[in-house]
């Protein structure tokens, strides 16, 4: 992959479970809005789009029909080859099978794998039990979907190493650090460096900072050789006090910062090679 050494993958996290139109009118809520945002982010330089879906009133849901409509709309853009990453988060409730249904039914290139439980927002338990993680890891492997191992705290890295040794997760793994979620590790650049130092060999990694941690984590990740995640799931402000126009605005800035650092944004096909993804053709 020597020809890819200067390439960095940009993931656009479009919606998440919490930002609302009242926080920023540009937050995509409906499947149509999510698909249009995905297309715009691809045009701006994103190789991957990370997707949550919402009910009509904006509340989070894991309803299969909502995922299917959003994914079908993205795949209907004939010129768009963006990689799709679906969440398996249980923040909207549901059984283990409910959480996996969209990924296993729609077969994206990636799906999130939140590698441990935490007290999310100091308000609720974000539960990812050992039973669920073993079930999810096995199911994603059988479906040839790459787990995006989401890390909110250092213990989650060591959970992932355990599942790699056990064979539930397969090497080379891909890790996504998320700093600044209340209940997880705060945005501290020493934390980011420490997390990177805990990773197993021959893995890939990216990072994102929530809220006002967005830019410090973005810039440090570029300097440290990692891949990038931006978007309204993590931050609805382009700069202090200035709401972002849309998700593509974040992607365009990330691409520009890469180029000003002597790097390039990876295309979707390059991202598939870097992360070892199985391209899905429909």
Q: How far apart are CA 253 and CA 230, in angstroms?
A: 9
DSSP assigned state of 17: S
Arithmetic mean of pLDDT over the chain: 96
Contacts of 89 (CB under 8 A, 6+ apart): 17, 52, 62, 99, 112, 114, 126
Helices 214-224, 189-197: inter-axial angle, 10-degree rounding: 40
Q: What digits encode the pLDDT tens for the residues 95-123?
A: 999 999 999 999 999 999 999 999 988 88
For residue 190, give both structure tokens: 């020493």
Q: How far apart are CA 14 and CA 23, in angstroms?
A: 14
The pLDDT of residue 92: 67
Task: Decide: 149 and 169 in contact? Cβ < 8 Å.
Answer: yes
Q: What digits encode the pLDDT tens for the residues 222-252?
A: 999 999 999 999 999 999 999 999 999 999 9
The pLDDT of residue 1: 46
Q: Give me the residues of the chain with pLDDT under 50, please.
A: 1
Task: Decide: 193 and 170 in contact? Cβ < 8 Å.
Answer: no
The residue behind tokens 């000003």 is: 260
For residue 35, give both structure tokens: 């698909």
In 3D, which of 128, 43, 50 has the Cα closest to residue 84? 50
The pLDDT of residue 123: 84
For residue 243, give both structure tokens: 């709401």
- DSSP character string of 26-75: T---SHHHHHHHHHHHHHHT-SEEEE-EE-TTS-EE--HHHHHHHHHHHH
Q: How far apart are CA 244 and CA 235, in angstroms?
A: 9
What domains sit in the chain, N to C, each tagged with a CATH number?
2-275 (3.20.20.70)
The pLDDT of residue 3: 83
């Amino acid at each position: 992959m020597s020809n890819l050494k200067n390439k960095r993958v940009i993931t656009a996290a479009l919606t998440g479970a919490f930002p609302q139109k009242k926080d920023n009118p540009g937050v995509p809520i409906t499947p149509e809005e999510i698909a249009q945002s995905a297309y715009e982010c691809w045009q701006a330089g994103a190789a991957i789009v990370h997707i949550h879906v919402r009910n009509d009133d904006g509340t989070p849901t894991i309803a299969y029909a909502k995922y299917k409509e959003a994914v079908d709309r993205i795949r209907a853009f004939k010129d768009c080859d963006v990689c799709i990453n679906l969440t398996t988060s249980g923040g909207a409730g549901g059984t283990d099978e409910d959480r996996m249904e969209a990924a296993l039914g729609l077969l994206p290139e990636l799906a999130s794998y939140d590698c441990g439980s935490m007290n999310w927002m100091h308000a609720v338990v974000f539960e990812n039990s050992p039973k669920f993680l073993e079930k999810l890891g096995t199911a994603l492997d059988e479906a040839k979907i790459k787990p995006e191992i989401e890390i909110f705290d250092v213990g989650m890295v060591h959970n992932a190493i355990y599942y790699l040794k056990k064979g539930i997760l397969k090497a080379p793994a891909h890790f996504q650090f998320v700093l600044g979620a209340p209940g997880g590790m705060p945005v501290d650049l020493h934390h980011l460096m420490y997390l990177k130092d805990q990773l197993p060999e021959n893995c890939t990694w990216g990072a994102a900072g929530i809220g006002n941690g967005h830019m410090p984590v973005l810039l440090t990740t570029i300097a440290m050789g990692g891949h990038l995640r931006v978007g309204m799931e993590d931050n609805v402000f382009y700069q202090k006090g200035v709401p972002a126009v849309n998700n593509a605005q974040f992607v365009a800035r990330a691409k520009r910062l890469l180029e000003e650092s002597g790097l390039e944004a990876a295309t979707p096909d390059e991202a598939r090679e870097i992360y070892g993804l199985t391209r899905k053709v429909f």
